[in-house]
Amino acid sequence: MKDRLFKAALLLAACLIILLTAGIVYGLVSQSVDAFTHFGIWHFITSADWDSRNERYGALPFITGTVVTAVLALLFCIPFSFSVSLFNGEYFRNRKPAVFVGSVVDLLAGVPSIVFGLWGFYTLRPVLVGLGVSEQGFGVLLASMVLAVMIIPYASSLSAEFIGMVPNELKEGAYSLGATRLEVIQRVSLPVAGSGIFASYVLAFGRALGETMAVTMLIGNTNHIPRSLSDTGNTMASIIANQFGEAGGLKLSSLMAIGLLLFLITASINFVAKYIMKVVSR
């Protein structure tokens, strides 16, 4: 009797997750219907207008801004996260240096987004201004540099695990054929761990897509498609954070629609990453 109650409670909790997800999806869809019917879904996605006075809204500048900053961030991040994952998963696996590097990088993941924003604003931005990148320093480049630092932990800790899982026998086999350490990494470890590493980069990319606060503080918040890396712009997350408070009516619905699009993009990116990992770990 008590057991049945207990099991019912567990089931209820699990169903709560379903309800919650359904509520999120339903909420996003129902709120964005207005914008989609008014502008047409395709037109909303491909229009570069964001004009509050004439009530004309399109998501293209923000989709572009999001994708560009995230791709750039991933590119900046890869040399560092790749090195960290080799350092922790291959060269110093389970030894003190790896534990140290691993915990510091993990701590980096704990730093709040807004603190990264401050760091970008007060430390990195003057550097860019000094280098003459742009007058104010704000823009896609600054945002992606900070994003790159923010996603290092996500990209490196998982891929270190995948590199660490490469069976020793395989590596020993290669060593006994006279390969150098680099050759073992190139020919044995990376081919074996490759898809896992790829999946962790995809996950990190997903993180970069959804980052809000730091990007909002650094990208410059202009509603047009960035013309160059030093140009200002807005991402899907930053436009919502910036304009949500003052929005109503069609504008609110448009922001919700952007939220829905962002949700769909990050969800599919995460799905791809999880799928790859599932295949790999089998």
Q: What residues between 224 and 243 interact with another protein by CB under 8 A?
A: 237, 240-241
Q: What is the DSSP string of 249-277?
A: HHHHHHHHHHHHHHHHHHHHHHHHHHHHH
Sign of CA dihedral 174, 179, 180, 183: negative
- Sign (positive or negative) of CA dihedral 204, 206, 209, 211: negative
Nearest alpha-carbon partner for 83 in 72, 103, 70, 98? 98
Per CB under 8 A, does 79 bind another protein?
A: yes
- CB nearer another protein, residue 24 or residue 228: 24
- Tell me if 244 contacts another protein by CB under 8 A: yes
Q: Which is nearer to another protein, 140 or 150 (CB)?
A: 150
71 binds another protein (CB under 8 A): no
Q: How far is CA 69 from the centre of its chain?
A: 10
> What is the pattern of x (binds another protein, CB under 8 A) and - over residues 156-185?
x-----------------------xxxx-x
Which parts of 107-136 interact with another protein (CB under 8 A)? Answer: 107-108, 110-119, 121-123
CB of 279 to another protein, least distance (A): 15
Exactly one of 33, 104, 127, 279 binds another protein (CB under 8 A); that residue is 104
140 or 256: CB nearest another protein: 256
CB of 37 or CB of 180, closer to another protein? 180
Q: How far is the CB of 199 from another protein (least distance, A)?
A: 13
Q: Is 33 in the site for another protein (CB under 8 A)?
A: no
Query: Which residues between 252 and 281 bind another protein (CB under 8 A)?
Result: 255-256, 259, 262-263, 266-267, 269-271, 274
Residue 154 buriedness (CB in 10 A; 0-12 / 13-18 / 19+) = buried
